[in-house]
Amino acid sequence: MPVTLLTNWLLIILLNVFAIGCKSITDSTNLNVDRDIPPSEAFDASYGFWEADGKTIYFSHSEDLGSDPDPGKLDQLWKLNLNTGRRQMIHPGRILNADISSDGQWIVFHSFSLPQYLYKMRSDGSELQRLSGPESPNPNLEHTGLARWSPDGKRILFSIYAGKPRGTALMDSSGSNTQIIIPYGIDAKWFPDGTKIIYLNWDTTQVSNKQQQIYVANADGTNQEKLTDLTHSRYMGDIAEPIVSPDEKSIAFTHLGSNGYDKEIFIMKIDGNGIEQITEGPGYATRPEWSPDGNTLLFSRIIPNVSKRLYFLDVVSHQVTPVFPKPQN
């Protein structure tokens, strides 16, 4: 075999092996990206999540303050009945990163003020209870957030993101029996069957181009496994918000998009392969949430200092539609 031909043949093999090992991102140039979509109503809405029945979504809303500095008009918790279109304010705010229990009875969230504390309340806004910080079952616990109810509603998975010790932690629904299960883990969520969790953790103790990656582990923190080896993850938040689909076959998450600095939504297989960018638009995308039937992703698109809007994304076609379409004249 001629030397040149042999060299080219070996190079092709090496490139194919390298591509497989790196779990490379699928080219997104031909995707149905969310640039040319029906216009959304000028209604501030973001950080949405589904109720288990698939007929209701909750979201954050901030009113136009004008000259009124009232913080109670910021980050209010609202809900939308998808059948009737009725909107209703649940709590005046400020509610951050909320999540609802599978029976629809309780909402957990963290506060805006620093250090941040965990709270829970009834889904109608009543019976507010503090879960961390002063006058709580965890009076010395601070810097807590990103909480998620377990599928059976008996436990809360959350992050202690500053101080020592810190990491992915568990508590009972009452706030008792708190323990860190994955040191330095953050942004954890449950698998739908409750047997595993997905989360972010540091890939290296040194500053590098692969600083954070997506991991899975058993629900007690054992058997940790790294799924991704993505570049451009130097800073916290470059990879974020991993969440497993209801059929446990796919994972949605946010990562730096094709422009290299704004986050977009990606989907990959449950083993970390087949990574594909599925959104691309102005500003950045955040908080992907699978619908209960797994056919739709609810997500927010935020253009800083301009707008916050909620959208639905069809998982198969990648078609994007606004949750609140602009009224027709």
CATH of residue 226's domain is 2.120.10.30
8 inside domain: no
6 inside domain: no
Count of domains for the chain? 1
Strands 275-277 and 25-26: parallel
193 inside domain: yes
2 inside domain: no
Categorize the per-residue pLDDT at 208 as very low, low, confident or very high, splitting at 50, 70 and 90: low
Taken in order 255, 259, 261, 264, the sign of the CA dihedral is negative
- Number of other CB atoms surrounding residue 58 within 10 Å: 21
Categorize the per-residue pLDDT at 22 as very low, low, confident or very high, splitting at 50, 70 and 90: very low
pLDDT tens-digit series, residues 69-115: 777 789 999 999 999 999 999 999 899 999 999 999 999 999 988 89
**Mean pLDDT, range 143-166, rounded to an integer:** 95
Domain ranges, residue 201: 41-322
Burial class (CB in 10 A: 0-12, 13-18, 19+), 171: buried
pLDDT tens-digit series, residues 245-290: 999 999 999 998 877 778 999 999 999 999 999 999 889 999 999 9
**Mean pLDDT, range 238-244, rounded to an integer:** 94
Is residue 29 scored above 50 in pLDDT? no
Categorize the per-residue pLDDT at 235 as very low, low, confident or very high, splitting at 50, 70 and 90: low
**Mean pLDDT, range 207-233, rounded to an integer:** 86
Is residue 295 scored above 80 in pLDDT? yes
The confidence score (pLDDT) of residue 265 equals 96
Contact 5, 13 (CB under 8 A): no
The confidence score (pLDDT) of residue 2 equals 47
99 inside domain: yes
* 282 cis-preceded (ω within 30 degrees of 0): no
7 inside domain: no
Strands 106-110 and 118-122: antiparallel
Average confidence score pLDDT of the chain: 87
16 inside domain: no
- pLDDT-wise least confident of 143-147, 196-200, 229-233: 229-233
Percent of the chain with pLDDT over 70: 85
Query: How many residues in total does the chain contain?
Result: 329
